[in-house]
Structure 1
Amino acid sequence: MTPFLYRIAETYYKETSGNLSDIAFVFPNRRAGVFFQKYIAQVAKKPIFSPPILTISDLFCQFSPYLQADRTSMLFILYQKFQALSLSNESFDDFVFWGDMLLNDFDDVDKYVANPEQLFRNIKELKEIDELFDYLTPNQLDAIRQFWGNFIPINESRKKMEFLAIWELLYPLYCALREELQKKNIAYEGMIFRDVAEKALSKKLNNIPYRRIVFIGLNVLSKSEEIVMSRLRDMGIADFYWDYYSPLVCDKYNKASFFLSENRLKYPSQYDIFETDENTDNLSQIEIIGIPSAVGQAKQACKILSELLKNKDIPNPEKAINTAIILPDEHLLLPMLYSVPKEIDPINVTMGYTLSNTPVAGLMEEIFDLQKHLRLISGQPYFYHRKVLSLLSHRYIMISGEKIILELSNYIRKYNRVFIPVNDLAKNELLKRIFTPLTNAQEAADYLISILEYLQQEHFFTSKANDEKENNKLTPLEKEFLYHYYITVNRLKEVMTEYKTGMNVSTFFRLLNKMVNNITIPFRGEPLSGLQIMGVLETRALDFENLIVLSMNEGIFPVKKVANTFIPYNLRKGFGLSTSEHQDSIYAYYFYRMIYRAKKIFLIYDTRTEGTDIGEMSRYIYQMKYHYRLPLKEKLVTYDISVNDIQPIYVIKTENVKKQLDRFLSGGDRALSASAINTYINCPLQFYLQSVERVTPDDDVSENIEASTFGSIYHRVMECIYNRFKGNLVMGDALEKIQKDDTFLTGLIESAFNECYYQKDEPQRLTGQNYLVGEIIRKYVKRTLSSDRKLTPFLYIESERLIETEHSISPNKTVRLKAFIDRVDEVKGKVRIIDYKSGAKPRSNSGSREIVFRKIEDLFDKNLPNRPKAIMQVFMYAMMYSKIANGKNLKPGIYYLRSLFEHNFDWEIKLKIDKTNKIIEDFHDICSDFTNHFNQCLNEIFDENIPFTQTNDLKTCEYCDFASICKR
């Protein structure tokens, strides 16, 4: 395979006898120029003076007096001119998006030497088109008519009038921007191109410092490039070489050939380098590989490289320059670098690494999000917990003091801090700088500079915040990333200061992000040695024997990109500007030219379907397969994922387990609660993990009041209300007075929120969703008091009574039990044991909503659907309380809060006998039977021969914290 550039180097060296020092060679990119210099050296085989190597942009800049303008500066200049012309009070924040689009459009207008006045003209009558645009072709006129036909304001609609009003402003704005830039002797690229093109048209393009200018490997040309190249051709000093030798590129049905005929005809080559050898059968070595992974593509490329080494297609791993890996998706650069076989060294990366993909950019994104979710509460700044926790997990933050960061994270989760005040977050110097509220863009610039300066300080890298000092160090590459980000922020600050344009913090971050996206950090190395890893644009005019192209998916190659433009498609087409057809043609040319001279080609695509990505092969693969019917080898790489049958999990009661269980027996330090016993009945394995081993899920901040917290707040409010009556008779008028005292209830609710949810020192006013929850609790409390009034007068004994007792289950085994009884009172001589439940009454097996059970053994039946576990719990409380009740009648009951609003609120527990329900008036009547079944349950828990097993009821697993362990 003889590369295209080698043929030109060989021809020119021969024709000029090696005298190339005053011949300028112009390429589509710098990489092509470097390879061309290499080929000249190979042809010459001796030291010679290198000819000037330029890109097309370099050449135009040499012919123009203007310096390239900074895009951010131009955006501010454009805004100032817009304000002056429109007399508008539109803020920079609103202007920045469409102002950026205008810069793109002005650049296009100048590169394609379109008439700006006529393009941006407000056309009010369609007939003017024929008079004003007589120089346009019929197709261009049709395109313009079609566009303006839809926008002639016949009905004077507001949107159409606004559109036309903006268009009336565009030409003055275009002129004002160019005038201001000319005063500063700077210009955007299109303005430079137009300036040089106008000189060429007026034949003022003189004093060219080269004997000849050779254009190599170009394809699509803008109008300004055509004008200049035509002028240089007419002057007899230009030569042109087009890489149009591939039969696929020459196919008139292929979009790659869009510019072929015109370019060859208008700009012929002086010397014939037509290829006649070794280019007819090499396309048969094409392999299409589908793989369901992004990173997997890089791993597959590694396997291909190893095979190429093994088969000597890469003759020397130290000289793999005949092989290139093409990355249409730049995000695969790092996975690819990590996947290259160790034998291959060196590696040359031509595409650079985008600053937006670096760890420091990730940190800045976290900071942007943090500031975006800043909230003022009572005039004080608070930060949102999700953004705080996400930021704290970043490696650079961890380096500043891992112990402090972990303590802060645990504090936020433990105390459920949804919004955290600044003072609680400023735990070290870096956190003080980060958790600072911002009010304007100037503050934002100084803020980021302060953070980046601190991160770059040497003591920050070497401070021993962790046990392992090495973990605290940033790599030299990371320091380079920090430096580039630092100078980017500084540049934006300088521009803001120079033009004195105000903007909000959000716009500042958005503008900075746009700047960062355009900055790449180059990898330094020897470009003419080793494996080449490059983007699609870097392949122009280059040839390789082995090609591995990743991300051959539709939408990635060719890229699916909608241009941000203010000029509609029809007008772009009518005035000869670039359109989507140009884009399609350009990428088709890149692909078919790239594969022409390669011997082995591997095209890898991602087969996954995720979101809008449908795992479709690139159109180029379909074209080769069905249109050109090339002999392709196809294969799909799949991962063998074996899913084993879920094995039952059980825990045998070993000596260690029995030691843990013994802690619940007499003399131990732990006690069983009713909820723990209910958990055992539902799922013994869950009981073991939760109560025996005390495995708890990770804490997380709850933004909404969960059911358990809701119940705790209600319990606390009711306890506070009735504590004043403890040991006294409760009268109906007293409860009525409390019901009507909303101020008093508000204080109790806020205090309960503070204790059970906020966990702060002082109560705070409820806002937002918490206010609504508080109002719901108020309604429940008032309704409870209404129901209680029907029972007055009654003796209120106590609330939230803690009972700890020892319970004998066999002659030689006594279990420690504990219970918190929500409420104990005495109504008509009977002591009520009341349990509050925040849900609605569950349906019994008969379908009723009554608090009913059929027999005591149902309370402990693991296989019974809708087991009445709430009844088991309150019966256990009654059993424990009976030991201190001095023989009084005990009447257990349950207050289901959602049932409080029923017409006949019923809290009494009933035993269903045949078809009638008998109210449990005295627990002593069933105490013996209940105790026997209760003891059987406890004996099973402590029986060393019965393991802790999984439940058979999968509904129990739906909300279990340990479902991920069981895999059910």
Structure 2
Amino acid sequence: MATFIFDVLKDLQNNNTNLSQVTFILPSKRAGLFLKHELPKVIQQTVFSPQINSIEEFVQELSQLKPVPNTELIFEFYDAYAQLTKKENLDSFESFSKWAQILLQDFNEIDRYLIPQENIFNYLSAIQDLNHWSLEEQKTDFVKNYLAFWNKLYNYYTHFTEQLLNKKIGYQGLIYREAVENLESYIQSNPKKQHVFLGFNALNTSEETIIQELLQNNLAKIYWDIDKVFLDNEKHDAAWFTRQHKAHWKYFKNNPFKWITSHYSKEKNISVFGVPKNIGQAKYIGSLLNTLQKDNQSLQNTAVILGDEDLLVPVLNSIPLSINALNITMGFPLKSIPLASLFEALFHLHKTPSNAFYYKDVINIISHQFIRPLLYIENIDYASKLIETINNNNHVYLNKDRLRDIADKAGDVIDLLFSSWETSVKTALGNCSKLILAIKNYLDIEKASNLLSLEYIFRFNELFNELNRLNSEYHHIKDISTLHGVYKELLSTENLDFQGEPLEGLQVMGMLESRVLDFETIIISSVNEGVLPAGKSNNSFIPFDVKIENNLPTYKEKDAVYTYHFYRLLQRAKNIFIIYNTEADVLTGGEKSRFITQLELEGIHHLNHQIIAPQAPIIEPILNVVKKTEALQKQLIKVAQEGFSPSSLTNYIRNPIDFYYQKILKIKDHDDVEETVAANTLGTVVHNTLEDFYKPLTGQFLTVEILNNLKSNIEERVTFHFKNEYKEGDITKGKNLIIFEIAKRYVSNFLNLELKTIRDGNEIKIIAIEADNAISIHIPELDFPVKIKGKVDRVDECNGMIRIIDYKTGNVQQNQVEILNWEDLTKDYKKYSKSFQILSYAYMMQLSKEIKLPVEAGIISFKNLGAGFLKFAKKDKPGSYAKKHTLITQETMDMFSVELKNLILEICNPKEDFIEKEL
């Protein structure tokens, strides 16, 4: 296909222009590369390459100023601001940087459009004086300072720009203004130099002045790229700027306007796809590329245009592996590199000075992919050791010394990561630079396999070197918070450039990179309102009406810029795929762009419009089934011989798969750090405290004196067991202090209940505390021995009746220890698990001949102490008026034994698989 660049070169050749002596000026460097590629198609002999510049390069040459990054401009501006502002009114650098960014953008616009600076700043000051509280007779200090700021804007501008000009540096707008100032001198110095401007659309006043002046002096030619369809339609924004240039430039009154083309009206295959979510768009782009490749279409002349450049990474991950040649014109954002998360974590850790670090922050850093290898020393994984120690000892906060104690041989790395920055910017930058060097030294060991990681390290080293330079040169960074802000500002502007052959294969680029370029097949993503076009945004101190008055660009002009780029891509393309997001993602998406609606309403091309939804197969929920193999059966026999506990049996009743994981695979729950004391920890503390109190009383009758003595030891015993169970966790404040007090209250309330029982004339004798039981039971159907084992919290004798008691720190009601039908005991976990447990304890104690029937068994619930001893009961019939049998007799044990043996038979039956229950 003939591209716009080729057509321009051909026209110049036909007019006998010596291309070697021409200076080509294009909107971007990228376009210059494609122009150089097209030259051999036009020139048949060997010639010197012409000078090819982007407009920014040409303007810099005119101005003799060097552009500086935005971050450095903020530092320079703060110098000027500080010199003109009283110390008591001076903002900190961090506060200043927030509003200075906007003001710099306004300075840039004012200069690029050659607006008389004093006039507009005085105008803005007058507007603020009218808009605010100046009509009040007595202005407050706040109002005075506010208005004083606006009155100083011109002084800020003047002082700042003079400072930059003295250093021969500038921001874009200042460079443009200076270029216009130097234009006459440039023309006089280059009276025969020919310039060719091509592919431009929206021009600021500086660019217009420069180009028109060169045209009037016969030192330039200009080639526009606009289609007749757009130019003839006065309402079509694609030609908004071109129509103005054609109508108002003096040059075109006597010279032809090149060019008005008619490519857009030619037949095109346009498909519009609505795809849910941004990731859906990326995946569909991959699918389209795969289809294009299968249809034997060469991707040499194909471009993927990303309306939203944040889609770059998902799109790269979605490109088919069969595509070998790929060129990416935009860089990979440095903020998306894994190393960025490490330094963000370090800033988060050290931003607030502290001697103790939150365990999650510590684990986040030592688990990082670039840090973990540094902590592997002499075949010891100190990162794992640190995490394990933190979890086991319940460290919620740790200091550097504790970390060094745990990872003694990794002390140097621990120092780099966790030494206090002490609000010292120099210390912070020094530690970060040393850390970068340590990571580099590790990666250098296997350099060949770590090339990409080394590239990451190199770019971050450059970034921190720049931070060091800015800090030492300007001295405006006073604290870590400000350093973090400057770091993020630098990080957001830095990219990791891709390397590849720029003219081969599939092209992936942003909308602005596509200027002047033509492709046969294009795929445009994120064609949504708010993205293409970007919509209304006014990040400026200059009001809308003032912008209109001074011919400064507003959202209307910005929309026209996007419109031109969009339609220009369509002009020469044959196959066009437009993709938009059908779902609302945060603030964007959901509404297709007006460009799509405009294409539909124009009626020039037929649009194939489809809504694409990802294929979502219906996945029927399948319950997990574990077959009982011979090896598994052997494991079961081993478990049976070691002994089933009541809790493991109720676990099987609840869900056989959980029993399989716990008893066969021996999978334990992961021990995380308990920031807040967990319910099971509270239960353990209460149980252990009561064991301490009652175990020495075995064989004794309880008395008021004994119980009162126990009450005086509650604080000491509960504290001891909290330290034992909760390790180094803090119970002195917050929720943990409340839970600590609850534990003491539980024990105190229980002892008060015991006291009341004794005072009411009851006799209680302690028979056993935390009694271990392990008994063998005979099951004829099984040819191997089976044991039942468990620990009973308490066995006592109350008024001559033996009681088997299980403590529960949760809330248990009477109906949870009652049953109607024996067969339900092993079927419904929620209703009958507690009955099953206490009957198991009674059964074990009967078989071990530690008790004689009849007995009572039940639960004491610490959250329901008012109900007292909740006895197990067998009901005759449903309903609250049914007769309840609370005595556990031989008949009770016989009925329970049948259900228990059936349950064990089911567990050990090789023909019955472990089948997951729907919970």
TM-score bin, normalised by smaller chain: 0.7 to 0.9
Q: Deviations over 1:9-68 (max 9, x none)?
A: 2222333442542x3222110111222233333222122233322222222212224322
| Residue aligning to 2:273 | 289
**For the residues of structure 2 that align with 1:830 and 1:210, how far apart are their CA atoms?**
120
**CA 1:638–1:72 in 2, change beyond 3 Å: closer, same or farther?**
closer
Moved more, 906-915 or 61-70: 906-915
One-letter code of the match for 1:108?
A: E
Q: Deviations over 1:726-759 (max 9, x none)?
A: 55554335544654x5xx64444443333323x3
* Alignment partner of 1:507 is 2:507: no
| Residue aligning to 1:937 | 903
| Residue aligning to 1:139 | none
Q: Deviations over 1:757-814 (max 9, x none)?
A: 3x34xx7553322222222223222222221221337444554333333233448664
| Residue aligning to 2:831 | 867
- SS at the partner of 2:107? helix
* Alignment partner of 1:151 is 2:151: no
Q: Give the alignment of 1:523-672 within 5 angstroms.
A: 523-559=498-534, 562=537, 564-608=539-583, 610-628=585-603, 630-665=605-640, 668=641, 670-672=642-644
Match of residue 719, structure 1, among 682, 691, 694: 691
| Residue aligning to 2:219 | 237
Q: Does the CA-based 8 Å contact 1:673-1:819 persist in structure 2?
A: yes
Moved more, 402-411 or 43-52: 402-411
**CA 1:632–1:918 in 2, change beyond 3 Å: closer, same or farther?**
closer
Q: Which runs of 5+ in 1 are unaligned?
A: 129-143, 464-471, 843-848, 958-968
One-letter code of the match for 2:34?
A: F
**For the residues of structure 2 that align with 1:781 and 1:204, how far apart are their CA atoms?**
93
Q: Deviations over 1:148-179 (max 9, x none)?
A: 76535446689866643442343333333223
| Residue aligning to 2:841 | 877
Deviation of 1:549 (Å): 2.1
**For the residues of structure 1 that align with 2:709 and 2:548, how far apart are their CA atoms?**
80
**For the residues of structure 2 that align with 1:746 and 1:277, how far apart are their CA atoms?**
91
**CA 1:309–1:878 in 2, change beyond 3 Å: closer, same or farther?**
closer
Match of residue 896, structure 1, among 861, 870, 873: 861
| Residue aligning to 1:707 | 679
One-letter code of the match for 2:44?
A: K
One-letter code of the match for 2:481?
A: S
Q: Deviations over 1:265-309 (max 9, x none)?
A: 344565554456655313x32122344465564554455445555
**For the residues of structure 2 that align with 1:801 and 1:473, how far apart are their CA atoms?**
64
Q: Does the CA-based 8 Å contact 1:852-1:917 persist in structure 2?
A: no
Deviation of 1:485 (Å): 1.3
* Alignment partner of 1:683 is 2:649: no
| Residue aligning to 2:734 | 768
**For the residues of structure 1 that align with 2:235 and 2:321, how far apart are their CA atoms?**
44
**CA 1:718–1:549 in 2, change beyond 3 Å: closer, same or farther?**
same
Percentage of pairs with the same residue: 27
| Residue aligning to 2:328 | 349
Deviation of 1:211 (Å): 2.0
**For the residues of structure 1 that align with 2:320 and 2:659, how far apart are their CA atoms?**
51
Q: Does the CA-based 8 Å contact 2:535-2:559 persist in structure 1?
A: no
Q: Deviations over 1:661-701 (max 9, x none)?
A: 21133xx3x32111111122233343233333334455544
Q: Does the CA-based 8 Å contact 2:792-2:806 persist in structure 1?
A: yes
Q: Give the alignment of 1:458-477 within 5 angstroms.
A: 459-462=442-445, 474-477=449-452
| Residue aligning to 1:34 | 33
Q: Does the CA-based 8 Å contact 2:535-2:555 persist in structure 1?
A: no
Deviation of 1:582 (Å): 2.4
One-letter code of the match for 1:816?
A: K
Q: TM-score, normalised by structure 2?
A: 0.87
**For the residues of structure 2 that align with 1:110 and 1:360, how far apart are their CA atoms?**
38
**For the residues of structure 2 that align with 1:30 and 1:342, how far apart are their CA atoms?**
29
Q: Does the CA-based 8 Å contact 1:197-1:228 persist in structure 2?
A: yes
| Residue aligning to 1:141 | none
Q: Pick the structure with more helix per residue.
A: 2
Q: Does the CA-based 8 Å contact 1:244-1:593 persist in structure 2?
A: yes
| Residue aligning to 1:258 | 240
- SS at the partner of 2:356? strand
Deviation of 1:430 (Å): 4.4
Q: Which runs of 5+ in 2 are unaligned?
A: none
* Alignment partner of 1:327 is 2:297: no
* Alignment partner of 1:248 is 2:230: yes
Q: Does the CA-based 8 Å contact 1:11-1:271 persist in structure 2?
A: no
Q: Does the CA-based 8 Å contact 2:765-2:798 persist in structure 1?
A: yes
* Alignment partner of 1:806 is 2:770: no
**For the residues of structure 1 that align with 2:709 and 2:80, how far apart are their CA atoms?**
70
Moved more, 890-899 or 297-306: 297-306
Deviation of 1:91 (Å): 2.8
**CA 1:278–1:310 in 2, change beyond 3 Å: closer, same or farther?**
farther
* Alignment partner of 1:396 is 2:352: no
Q: Deviations over 1:191-242 (max 9, x none)?
A: 2222333456x98975347623332222222233333334434444343322
| Residue aligning to 2:115 | 114
RMSD over equivalenced CA pairs, Å: 3.6
Q: Does the CA-based 8 Å contact 1:10-1:40 persist in structure 2?
A: no
Deviation of 1:541 (Å): 1.3
- SS at the partner of 1:641? coil
- SS at the partner of 1:438? coil
- SS at the partner of 1:395? coil
| Residue aligning to 1:44 | 43
Deviation of 1:591 (Å): 0.5
One-letter code of the match for 2:664?
A: V
Q: Does the CA-based 8 Å contact 1:830-1:888 persist in structure 2?
A: no
**CA 1:713–1:577 in 2, change beyond 3 Å: closer, same or farther?**
farther
Q: Deviations over 1:333-377 (max 9, x none)?
A: 4554565566755433322322222232344334444546x784x
- SS at the partner of 1:898? coil
**CA 1:234–1:747 in 2, change beyond 3 Å: closer, same or farther?**
farther
**CA 1:456–1:154 in 2, change beyond 3 Å: closer, same or farther?**
same
- SS at the partner of 1:587? helix
| Residue aligning to 2:2 | 2
| Residue aligning to 1:168 | 151
**For the residues of structure 2 that align with 1:97 and 1:484, how far apart are their CA atoms?**
26
**CA 1:298–1:249 in 2, change beyond 3 Å: closer, same or farther?**
farther
| Residue aligning to 1:105 | 106
Q: Give the alignment of 1:485-524 within 5 angstroms.
A: 485-524=460-499
**For the residues of structure 1 that align with 2:899 and 2:615, how far apart are their CA atoms?**
51
Aligned residues: 893
Q: TM-score, normalised by structure 1?
A: 0.83
* Alignment partner of 1:444 is 2:428: yes
**For the residues of structure 2 that align with 1:840 and 1:310, how far apart are their CA atoms?**
66
Q: Does the CA-based 8 Å contact 1:246-1:592 persist in structure 2?
A: no
**For the residues of structure 2 that align with 1:384 and 1:61, how far apart are their CA atoms?**
52
**For the residues of structure 1 that align with 2:274 and 2:668, how far apart are their CA atoms?**
43
Moved more, 171-180 or 187-196: 171-180
- SS at the partner of 1:790? helix
| Residue aligning to 2:200 | 218
| Residue aligning to 1:69 | 68
- SS at the partner of 2:749? helix
One-letter code of the match for 2:725?
A: C
Moved more, 671-680 or 161-170: 161-170
| Residue aligning to 1:835 | 806
**For the residues of structure 1 that align with 2:498 and 2:906, how far apart are their CA atoms?**
68
**For the residues of structure 1 that align with 2:206 and 2:720, how far apart are their CA atoms?**
75
One-letter code of the match for 1:264?
A: K
Deviation of 1:486 (Å): 0.7
**For the residues of structure 2 that align with 1:921 and 1:157, how far apart are their CA atoms?**
85
One-letter code of the match for 2:108?
A: D
One-letter code of the match for 1:938?
A: I
